[in-house]
Structure 1
Amino acid sequence: MPQYLSLLLDCPVVIAAIFVSGIGGTFQYGFSISVMISPSAFIKELVNKTCLQRYNVSLEPWQVSLIWSFTVSIFCIGGLLGSLVAGPLISKFGRKQCLLLNNFVAIIGAVLMLLSQTAMSFEMIMVGRFLYGINSGVSLSAHTMYLVECAPKKLRGMVGVTIATFISLGKFCGQLLGISELLGTQERWSWLLGFNGFTALLQLSTLPFLPESPCFLLLDKGDRQACEALRRLWGNKDYSREVEEMLEEKADLQSIRSYSVMELIQNQTVRWQLLTIIVTFTTLQLCGINAVYFYSFDVFRAAGIQEHQLRYAALGTGLCELSTSVACFMTIENTCKKVLLFRGYIGMSATLILLTITLYLQSQVSWMPYCSMGLIFICIFFFASGPAGVTAPLPGEILTQSFKSAGYTIACTLNWASLFVLGMLFPILVEHLDYFCFFIFLFFCAGCGLYVRFNVPETKNRTALEIAIEFQRMHCKSAESQRKNSTEQKVNGIKTYETKF
């Protein structure tokens, strides 16, 4: 680890890129997920006051809850839309330019949030949440591609983990700023919801000083300024080999355009890479981590924590995820990514089984809530130490330049669709199954863990060509079928698999 940390410290511009792209990137996503918990009572009160003032109608509790649920869920709809347009925007404008333009969407949403209380309009919160969703949908793809392509090959695993680290940081900041001593009050909750605008302004004022992704400049734009970008990012080190690899890939992709989502789905040469993206990104939302957070309040209550102190206890869960993600950042280069994914999901599977048992016995054994509390932190640890950090950059590692945009579009679409479905179905599952709903999430965790163990090769320090060959070796029945596939690719003039940064 000291060796890789030393390499990173020798690239101060890459470190700056991590923080600048992260604070206006996946930080926004994590913050938007957790920030609605604290001001929920104030927003529901605003809904009632608005209807009473406009229409002289006092809403029933179920009507207020319905409007509240829609306000929370519309974030996912915006995120889905943002992920669908992210691919074309990133390919056209570039990673850096896309991140810059995306900040204006967050700023407009923040202004609506800030004015909602004064204007007595809960609809402004809905529109703001929708715009936040679009911003997060675009930034999940743009932030990931920008960082992975700016990092030296040896540091891509370490740098890729920071994508999840900033999600965890966003969640924790949403919890922290939401306490009553800071912004979680009747007078200041609109400033809490508008905080995303300040982080967007921070990125908007700093990102222009950083270079564009060298891969985008050279492979998509044919711009020789890629060498200058590499010099600024990596210093005066010898990066001739990296430039040579990019030029080789550019030559291989001369006659190949960027593929659309449908073309990626139909292309048989990358079917196992596509299936890997589908399995891992669907499981990322359906692994039960959100259910663990949900039940943490019940566990804390049963453990004797007072109602007014629950918000502070919840900070412990956010801090656990953040600290584990930082630890994963420090150790990932010494651990295989496949191992991190497999160990994370299998560990979560075992923890969910034990958590279900302890929740069942919670009312019968006095000390059982403390066991449940410990298991909650263990489950968060397994999630943050593997799946959270490894999954986000996966499409960029296993797909070539011509497939990357489409791959990230599919990955982020699955992420948002799964989050939306979970948001709609989770209350129903809890109502009918209570804590036995963990068995459903257990199925996804165990299934993904076993899929990764037997169907996915190691990606650490490998090019997409090497990964593709390993996919073929694992899934083709004989060497003859591999040679046949290779011949068919050459006949079609498609050399899909050579991605070298």
Structure 2
Amino acid sequence: MANHKRIYRIAFLAVIGGALFGFDISSMSAIIATQPYLCQFNERGFDDKGQCLGPSSVTQGGIVAAMPGGSLVGALVSGWLSDRMGRKKTIMIGSIVWIVGSIVVCASVHLSMLAIGRFINGFAVGICSAQVPVYITEIAPPTMRGRLVSLQQWAITWGILIMYFICFGCSYIEGSAAFRVPWALQMLPAVGLFVGLLREPESPRWLFTRGREAEAENVLALLHGNGDVNNRFVQRELQQIRAAVQEEHSHADARWSELFAPKMLNRTAIGVFTQIWSQLTGMNVMMYYITYVFTMAGLAESGTNAVLIPSSVSFAINVIMTVPALLWLDRWGRRAPLLIGSALMCLFLVINAIMFGVYARTPYPGEFPSASESMAVSGPAAWVIIVSTCLFVASFAPTWGPVSWTYPPELFPLRLRGKAVALATAANWTFNFALAYFVPPAFEHITWKTYIIFAVFCAVMHLHVFFLFPETANKSLEEVAQLFDDTEPGAIKYIGTPAWKTRNNRAVMMEQEEKRASPADTELGLISPAQECPK
């Protein structure tokens, strides 16, 4: 039987790289409304009560956006680094970069130093968010890959929750230590990631591409055959890797321009927009600035902790509601979660817009510390906003969260998959950067209409998914190619099965696996060579 415990251990260790993104979200969102932070980075002076007003909305947007800006660069660099250094070593490099960035952030005494530190942290997040799924995919048995890759999204939610409670505890500390301690502690998971990976194997596929076939065989035996290189699964997996590598070497190196060729353009657009739309839902914006929302809903009247507690509840919802996707995403498919998620998020954004638009008043001078907290709501309307925000989070967690990481790699042929996923990830961080910078001044100047903008995005993405996103769950690569009708040279039209007519044929796939695989192979999670390496 395969050594699944070892595979799960490696996966849970590797996704710490994804959790770093969650740590960053919480370490900023839980702190930006506190007096120690506002006083340390005070740019606007003091209010009538002598309270620090902190950075301007534009400056605060720039501080938050520095992280996704660094992630964009890190994601683009990670592909080149991974091909030369290996998947594992690249993730380890990302962990070292994160530690350096955390030291700079922790020691920050002015805004520019803080922005530089966050850019360095973002560079690390970009590396890890792009390469952790690749590493996991290349060590896992075929039937476990979807679940294990989805662990990255779950790790992000855990990172948000854990760091938020750390920040909550540190909010009782006087002075700048209230935010410096959490910023220092966030480097510890990266230390654990680096040390833990030292004793784990490199990706067998990467080893094979570097001519280290014997090492690749030993890794496969360790992970899938309890050390037995003659194990049937190990030998068949080795043959599949050899065939895939030979196929790649029979063509010229994949070029970026191929992703925009007529026969591939539709796939590229869908993969890139999957990541773009995941940002335009507004979820990460909610995570970064959720304390702004709850402060405007009146929770700040009882003190800072009254804001942090319900914010942590929404983060806990994020963790819990991601679990169903880990268990049943392959049963649900890809289209259904995306369609249901976009519809529900649109509804809750509209509810928030109505509550703020109808019931909000202009804050009194000095009532809120940030200029972005430009509305004040109390009474039943405030509780509707709080509940609606939590339901928005619960709608994103099992839908666009995990599917946005799982769907793009399924769209592309093997030779182009690395560059295609890197491009999609870069699009994610580009829009993350833009939105992080946009939201504070948006709340300040257009107030409740900010919610309307994201609601419109959710409505448009719902239509886009319905008409153009085909179902790829439980389909071989040949079947995906037929969906796009790009199997014939020079094909330029999308004349395959319309996206809204594609189905998740899980029952059919399970039946085919039972017929094609021996009992031993089924136990190991083995897919036939025809499915894994189509001609």
TM-score (norm 1): 0.83
- What's 1:17 paired with? 10
Counterparts of 1:174 and 1:345, CA distance in 2:
28
1:393-408 pair list within 5 angstroms: 393-408=406-421
What do residues 197-255 of structure 1 show as CA deviations (whole Å, max 9, x unaligned)?
21111011111222222232234656343232222223447424433333332232222
Task: Specify which of 400, 413, 437 is matched with residue 387 of structure 1.
Answer: 400
Contact 2:285 2:435 in 1 (8 A): no
Change (3 A) 1:290 1:105: closer
- What's 1:476 paired with? 494
Matched positions, count: 463
1:270 is aligned with what amino acid? M
- What's 2:337 paired with? 340
Bigger CA drift: 450-459 or 76-85? Answer: 450-459
Percent same amino acid at aligned positions?
Answer: 20
2:103 is aligned with what amino acid? V
Contact 2:18 2:155 in 1 (8 A): yes
- What's 2:75 paired with? 83
Counterparts of 2:457 and 2:424, CA distance in 1:
17
Contact 1:352 1:439 in 2 (8 A): yes
- What's 1:179 paired with? 168
Contact 1:44 1:68 in 2 (8 A): no
The yes-or-no answer on 1:36 pairing with 2:32 is no
Counterparts of 1:467 and 1:28, CA distance in 2:
33
Counterparts of 1:109 and 1:63, CA distance in 2:
21
- What's 1:140 paired with? 129
Contact 1:257 1:402 in 2 (8 A): no
SS of the residue corresponding to residue 459 of structure 1 reads: coil
Counterparts of 1:304 and 1:140, CA distance in 2:
34
- What's 2:254 paired with? 259
Cα distance, 1:304 vs structure 2: 5.8
- What's 1:452 paired with? 465
What do residues 255-307 of structure 1 show as CA deviations (whole Å, max 9, x unaligned)?
224424x3243333321220111211111111122454546754576466733
- What's 1:195 paired with? 185
Task: Specify which of 206, 219, 226 is matched with residue 216 of structure 1.
Answer: 206
Task: Specify which of 416, 439, 444 is matched with residue 431 of structure 1.
Answer: 444
SS of the residue corresponding to residue 201 of structure 2 reads: coil
Change (3 A) 1:222 1:448: farther
Contact 1:264 1:407 in 2 (8 A): no
Task: Specify which of 129, 146, 151 is matched with residue 162 of structure 1.
Answer: 151
Bigger CA drift: 201-210 or 424-433? Answer: 424-433
Q: Which ranges of structure 1 fall in alignment gaps of 5 or more residues? A: 1-6, 52-59, 480-496
2:80 is aligned with what amino acid? P
Cα distance, 1:340 vs structure 2: 1.7
Contact 1:145 1:396 in 2 (8 A): no
Change (3 A) 1:365 1:142: closer
Q: Which ranges of structure 2 fall in alignment gaps of 5 or more residues? A: 46-51, 361-376, 487-491, 498-529
- What's 2:533 paired with? 500
Contact 2:294 2:311 in 1 (8 A): no
Cα distance, 1:446 vs structure 2: 2.5
Counterparts of 2:157 and 2:171, CA distance in 1:
20
Change (3 A) 1:476 1:233: same
In proportion to residue count, which structure has more helix?
Answer: 1
Contact 2:349 2:455 in 1 (8 A): yes
Bigger CA drift: 71-80 or 294-303? Answer: 294-303
- What's 2:103 paired with? 111
1:320 is aligned with what amino acid? I
SS of the residue corresponding to residue 194 of structure 1 reads: helix
CA RMSD in angstroms, aligned pairs only: 3.2
Counterparts of 2:431 and 2:5, CA distance in 1:
37
- What's 2:526 paired with? none
The yes-or-no answer on 1:355 pairing with 2:352 is yes
Change (3 A) 1:110 1:67: same
Change (3 A) 1:181 1:123: closer
Bigger CA drift: 344-353 or 199-208? Answer: 344-353
TM-score (norm 2): 0.78
2:257 is aligned with what amino acid? E
Counterparts of 1:183 and 1:82, CA distance in 2:
35
